[in-house]
Amino acid sequence: MKIALILAAYAAVLAVAGPRVMTRAAWTTRAPRLAIAAWQALCAAVVASVLLAGLALAVPTIRISGSLATLLKACGVALQTQYATPGGAAVSATGAVLALAVATRMAWRLGGSVISARTERTRHRRALALVGVAHGDTGVSVVPDDRPAAYCLPGRGHRIVLTSAALAKLGPGELAAVIAHERAHVRGRHHLALAFADALAAAFPRITLFATAESETRRLVELAADDAACASTDELTLAEALLSMAGAGAPVAPVAALAAGGDVGDRIRRLIDGRRPLPRWGSRLGLVAALALIVVPFVLAAEPAVAVASMNYCPLNAHTCPMLGHSGSS
């Protein structure tokens, strides 16, 4: 019970304080890839804590040393004892239902999102085979449309797509910058980060953390792709390309795609003002902190097992637990 309460409190603190800390942090714009990892770790830590809390309630904790047979016998007795009383059975059932409900809902949403996106991308790739035209040796497909737009279809058989209006409007340097931006989405597997964030926001819509993580992840993947594109082009060229693509009417990209353009005001200002990446030591420290968020609930849940090294305890009486008899005679 104590471990379950600690895990629940840890999840609550992260769910409430996490969004406030992350949205106020200035470093997220300077290190978008690290910020994406931090949001993912924060969400994963909350989910893991709730699942482990439910399991801690459902399964009694025992500390025991001895043979495997002794361990299994002790576990059986502990389970029988806990479920024999109405209070114990109610607590255990609540924990089991909580863990099962959270795991099932998350798996259902995530699986549904992945399957739906894959189906949409497959359908769109087939349409591109009919209406798209390859552009030189860039590997880009051009579709006829009077609105300038660019997007990528990530995943297996990925494609980068530009409209004919975008191709006519962008200069050679701007075109290269836009293509580099979309390729960065593909290489960074940003669609997976978005799928995880979208699934949590859809599965638990009343949890502010997940809704905020979804919107922030969508913003940060664009910043991360901008940074990657700037490795092969300068910031001003990319800013000019984004300005050319912005405000061109309704988006033409499919739901499962990652599109350039849209609301790019902050991105353009960031590129014009000059990017200020975090120092390497800062990025490493942030990565360690993000990993620690996930490790903590598992450490808490494993505490009883760790304590075995210093305890000889069995929830059986002296007649049924040989370890007790051995300890008493030594």
Q: What is the pLDDT of residues 6-29, one digit of tens each?
A: 999 999 999 999 999 999 998 999
Encode pLDDT of 42-73 as tens digits: 999 999 999 988 887 776 554 444 444 454 44
More confident of the two residues 275 and 211: 211
**pLDDT for residue 243:** 86
**pLDDT for residue 109:** 86
Cβ atoms of 75 and 62 closer than 8 Å: yes
Q: What domain count does the chain have?
A: 1
330 pLDDT band, cuts 50/70/90, is very low
Encode pLDDT of 277-317 as tens digits: 889 999 999 999 999 999 999 988 876 655 544 444 444 44
Residue of 108, 121, 111, 100 lying closest to 51 (CA atoms) = 100
Q: Is the dihedral of CA 295, 296, 297, 303 positive or negative?
A: positive
More confident of the two residues 30 and 120: 30
Residues in CB range of 182: below 8 A, 6 or more apart: 150, 151, 152, 160, 225, 258, 260
130 pLDDT band, cuts 50/70/90, is confident
**pLDDT for residue 75:** 52
* C-alpha–C-alpha distance, residues 300 and 2, integer Å: 10
Region 262-277: mean pLDDT is: 83
- CA dihedral of residues 61, 63, 66, 70 (deg, nearest 10): -30
252 pLDDT band, cuts 50/70/90, is low
More confident of the two residues 279 and 90: 279
Query: Euclidean distance between the first and final Cα of the chain, in Å?
Result: 33
In percent, the amount of the chain with pLDDT more than 70 equals: 75
How many CA atoms are closer than 13 Å to the CA of 261, on its beta-carbon side? Answer: 23
214 pLDDT band, cuts 50/70/90, is very high
Task: Return the residue matching tokens 């597997």.
Answer: 189
**pLDDT for residue 309:** 46
Q: Which residues pair with 142 in a beta bridge?
A: 133, 162
Region 202-210: mean pLDDT is: 92
Lowest mean pLDDT: which of 167-181, 264-278, 311-325? 311-325
Cβ atoms of 35 and 216 closer than 8 Å: yes
Question: What single letter denotes the amino acid at residue 134?
Answer: A
321 pLDDT band, cuts 50/70/90, is very low
Domain that residue 52 falls in: 2-329
